[in-house]
Structure 1
Amino acid sequence: MNVVLITGASSGIGKEFAEIYAANKSNLLLVARSEDKLKEIASNLSSGYGIEVDIFVKDLSEENAVNELMQYINEKGYLVTDLINNAGFGDYGSIIETDWTKESNMIHVNIVTVVHLAKEIAKHMVSNNIKGKILNVGSIASYMPNPFMSVYHASKSFVLSFSLGIREDLRRKGITVTVLCPGVTASGFQERANITNASFIKGRSMPTSKEVAVYGYSQLQKGRAIALHGFRNRFLVFLMRFIPKTWVTAIAYNLSK
């Protein structure tokens, strides 16, 4: 059975991608840590759209998470046509104050898991002659350092570079790779990252997770390399080409306090 694999599917952008694919009659394999949330989403999508929805409950910061997921996919005989590599999180604070265990888990989820899963799914697609699609979720953070979110921004910079690299590699195999780079989004990310009181968040109008997912889906279908959501973000990235990185970082410091 053909399935779309979505990580971080229990909330935010991942949950909205699941809704979009379900509306387009794609069967789903949803991955997240929360079993209760996944079961509820799976039940709603299955009954609402008449599709098959399976769940795989796993914390993707665990060392063998991707291997266990791939074993499950193979045991079920699933053929993954699309991967939405969405799982990730951030943290806020000075590097001397933030918790190393949380940062280590962040590096594993945001970088190691993203690379490992993209690699294994690409191999799966090639071995099964699938002309598939991979969408990795980056961020506007991919383009700039941030003194109070140094590890998160660096991880998303990695995702951007990695995605562009494997895009060129895999296009010769018929696999499309897109990196979605949203700005600040109303997704619940801020609460987990402890940045609800940061000055660049307070009082700011933010796009919804649905708006970002709809845009990302459309750009993925078009085969775009980079899906940079929002005119303001596209203008900001353009502007940063002409500003020294040290200046950008200093501005980020003042906006993030």
Structure 2
Amino acid sequence: MKRGAVTYGSAWALVTGAGSGIGRCYALRLAALGYRLLIAGDRREPLEAVGREIEALGGAEVRICAIDLARTEAARELFDHVQTEGIAVDVLINNAGIFSFCDILATPPERIERIILLHDVTATQLSRLCAADMIRRGVRGHILNMASYSLWMPFPGLALYSASKAYLKSFSVAFAREVGERNIRVTAVCPAGVATDLYGLTPYWQRIGLRLGVLISADSCARRGLKALWRGRRCIVPDWWNRIWIPLCKALPMCVLRPLRRYTMKFQK
């Protein structure tokens, strides 16, 4: 069997933000490994499309939960839904995210709140609820949290996004140490540019980014993320060349960032 594979239909995986991009690829790959799936997101139509795609490929059972995860009570509501459906989650993928490229003073307060709720509060609470249930059942559990390379890039326009992802990475590494002895593995995945619609790039520019090596595909990110999870890695940056730039990103002086900020102001939204 492949690493991470299970007897067909014998285990459940929960993937948030599974309607497109990296979340969709996580769902497809977990289905190929034999998992039954509960896929969650804020829009039912994309989730149903992914469900049909998995069924067409001969995947195991897929259930859908349309839910707004950027709310204080979202994690508890989703976990209650899991329990009501009789699902025992063995793999949790906290993938749902909102990208923000805008100065804090120009960001509406409600958007600040929603991003922090989604990236940090919901992911933390859902990790806690699922880990406690895994421990109670005595199974080997796996939790993957999607952080971001931008946590090493506290640049103008990324203050909110990079800070929320920095929390998620720090939480994941510390939580992994807390529950490691209880047979739970936790991994934070910190990709740089990924060819998805998250950043607002058109398909043309996504293809250009892939050809230049500036972006990686969503499926490549999901494959490397799951590989790190099965191996018990606490934190991973897909693609080695991105890792070598981390010290430079953290050390860029304002004399470099100031003209960069003036140029990027027109892209902020």
The yes-or-no answer on 1:47 pairing with 2:59 is no
The yes-or-no answer on 1:105 pairing with 2:114 is yes
Distance 2:244 2:255 in 1: 17
* Contact 1:3–1:79 (CA under 8 A) maintained in structure 2: yes
Which residue does the alignment assign to 1:74? 83
| Deviation (angstroms), 1:149 | 1.6
Distance 1:154 1:252 in 2: 19
Which residue does the alignment assign to 2:94? 85
Which residue does the alignment assign to 1:164? 173
> CA 1:255–1:225 in structure 2 vs 1: closer, same or farther (change >3 Å)?
farther
Distance 1:34 1:101 in 2: 20
Which residue does the alignment assign to 1:121? 130
Q: Name the TM-score, length of structure 1 as normaliser.
A: 0.89
> CA 1:74–1:226 in structure 2 vs 1: closer, same or farther (change >3 Å)?
same
Deviations along 1:199-218, one digit per CA (max 9) or x if unpaired, are xx996441111111111111
* Contact 1:182–1:228 (CA under 8 A) maintained in structure 2: yes
Distance 1:209 1:112 in 2: 25
Distance 2:75 2:34 in 1: 26
The yes-or-no answer on 1:56 pairing with 2:62 is no
Deviations along 1:178-212, one digit per CA (max 9) or x if unpaired, are 10010011111112xxxx59xxx996441111111
**Aligned residue runs from structure 1 range 120-159, under 5 A:** 120-159=129-168
Which residue does the alignment assign to 2:227? 218
Equivalent pairs: percent with the same residue?
28
The yes-or-no answer on 1:37 pairing with 2:46 is yes
> CA 1:51–1:102 in structure 2 vs 1: closer, same or farther (change >3 Å)?
same
Deviations along 1:151-188, one digit per CA (max 9) or x if unpaired, are 00100110111011101001011000110010011111
| Deviation (angstroms), 1:93 | 1.8
Distance 2:254 2:168 in 1: 21
Amino acid at match of 1:112: V
| Deviation (angstroms), 1:47 | 3.4
Distance 2:118 2:71 in 1: 9
Distance 2:253 2:235 in 1: 21
Deviations along 1:86-130, one digit per CA (max 9) or x if unpaired, are 111121222222222112111110111111111111111111112
* Contact 2:75–2:123 (CA under 8 A) maintained in structure 1: no
RMSD: 2.4
> Helix, strand or coil for the counterpart of 2:106?
coil
| Deviation (angstroms), 1:2 | 2.6
Which residue does the alignment assign to 2:4? none
| Deviation (angstroms), 1:63 | 2.6
Amino acid at match of 1:47: A
Amino acid at match of 2:55: S
| Deviation (angstroms), 1:248 | 8.3
| Number of residue equivalences | 250
* Contact 1:91–1:103 (CA under 8 A) maintained in structure 2: no
Distance 2:243 2:256 in 1: 15
| Deviation (angstroms), 1:5 | 0.5
Distance 1:23 1:240 in 2: 37
Q: Name the TM-score, length of structure 2 as normaliser.
A: 0.85
* Contact 1:136–1:178 (CA under 8 A) maintained in structure 2: yes
* Contact 2:71–2:122 (CA under 8 A) maintained in structure 1: no
* Contact 1:144–1:248 (CA under 8 A) maintained in structure 2: no
* Contact 1:66–1:113 (CA under 8 A) maintained in structure 2: yes
